[in-house]
Amino acid sequence: MKYRSFTAIVAMLCAMATLSAQPTTTPAATPPKPAVDHSYKPLTLKLTDDGSKYVRFIMWHQFWATATQNNPDTKDIQGRLIDGSDGADGAWSTDLALRRSRVIMYAQISPRALILTHWGINNQSFIGGAAPPSGPNTGVSNAGKKPQLFIHDAWTEYEIKKDKLYLGAGLIYWNGISRLTSHSTLNFMTLDAPIFNWPTIESTDQFARQFGMYAKGQLGRLDYRLSLNKPFANGVAPAAVPKNGVAQNVLNENWAASGYVNWMFWDKESNKLPFYVGSYLGAKKVFNVGAGFYRHAGASLYKSADGRDSLFQDNLALGADVYLDMPVNKEKGTALSLLATYYNYDFGTNYIRNLGILNLHSSGATTNSWAGAGNAQPTIGTGSIFYLQTGYQLPKLKNGTAFMPYLTVTHKNFERLSDASTQFGLGLNYFVTGHNAKITLEYQTRPVYKLDGADIKLQEYRGELILQTHIFL
């Protein structure tokens, strides 16, 4: 018995020794961490199990850091000339500002009914954005604080014939004239819109919107939108228009009509919402040709300098464009985008508007800058405008991000100015997650005009550098 027990113990010890002598087994390698999901998932609340009824939420911020080479005779908020002669450092000024901060909410409450609300703020800087408006040297110390939220869009829509005809009404963005006039601000191929694409901006509209009724749809490859609008009352009383040979907007109750049609040669685009896409970044192959109009009868009044003529004139805007957006190499992620637009505006004899986006030093004409101080320039007026933008998305990097350099060219020839102008923009997009998260750097030029006797002549070009961070969900 003792022998058997001893034998068993020896056998067990031998077995243990054998096991301990074997090489240690390498533990299984740690599995790689799953890749972080950077894809965009729309913020949608389903109202039915199949998702046919839903509420969709969209929100976005566009933040600008700017360096502006100001127009001649520009003064800072302390009243000092920004030209190096009065203690200021050169003609440049810098700022941080909110270009846009907005929210859209829309709901497909039934297969045939849709409701949309869009609100937010625009153009808040350290001196501008509050209501009532204020500017340099006004003595208002909090002019940039607490801007008011306001409604951009508020409309309802009903399906009459699926795909072919929808009718809607409200404060609408179903604009005519051009693709750019109904452009989305979420997916510009460039830093921003050129602004003259909205010729009634903050004149007879509310940030490119008017009260109106619209019809939209797609008939095969023909996409259309038509609207009948009641423009906002804006302008002066007819009796207050000076006799200087320059037409001005006058108060009136006339309706306006607008429309835009485009032929989609390749992939079809959605027209569920009015907002045209700037660039699909290779996701679609789109080639469209379009044309549109806007007409507001009797919106301007012209009085000749000698007092002999007094004439109510229509606001008439015509546009035509070509849009190309396509992948070049899907494996590498390269893509090409191009938009060429021609505008012909007639808002009355010699009509013109000078505008400057986020202008820190806005004022009337100065001795050496007819358009005004800061970054103001002749932007909208009776005459013609040609605009071109083109960009090329470079091969995607290993982390999925991509760069897109782009170029813009604008040629403006306004009736009131002695000289036409040609200005450029050079930019670079860095797409972190497509248009949902991107950083854009752009340098753009603008013309500076000076009054020379009875003529308004082109003197020089000045520039502005803008860095934008943009995220939307």
pLDDT at 142: 75
Tell me what the mean pLDDT of segment 13-38 comes to. 58
| Contact of 232 with 254, CB cutoff 8 Å | no
Structure tokens given for 65:
């850091």
Domains belonging to the chain, first-starting first, are 40-472 (2.40.160.10)
The torsion defined by the Cα of 366, 370, 372 and 375, in degrees rounded to 10, comes to -130
pLDDT at residue 136 is higher than 60: no
The candidate with the shortest Cα–Cα distance to 441, out of 461, 463, 426, is 426
Give the pLDDT band (50/70/90) at residue 139. Answer: low
pLDDT at 364: 85
Tell me what the mean pLDDT of segment 440-448 comes to. 98
pLDDT at 13: 40
pLDDT at residue 84 is higher than 70: no
Distance (Å, whole) CA 404 – CA 412 = 26
Structure tokens given for 236:
């002066």
- Rounded to the nearest 5 percent, the helix, strand and coil shares of the chain are 5, 50, 45
* SS3 of 46-94: ECCCCCCCEEEEEEEEEEEEEEEECCCCCECCCCCECCCCCCCCCCEEE
pLDDT at 25: 52
Reported as type and span, the H/E element at residue 256 is strand 256-264
| Contact of 212 with 193, CB cutoff 8 Å | no
pLDDT at residue 4 is higher than 60: no
pLDDT at 35: 74
The candidate with the shortest Cα–Cα distance to 464, out of 381, 361, 311, 325, is 361
Mean pLDDT value across the chain: 91
Tell me what the mean pLDDT of segment 215-236 comes to. 98
* 3-class secondary-structure state, position 133: coil
The torsion defined by the Cα of 443, 90, 143 and 445, in degrees rounded to 10, comes to -20
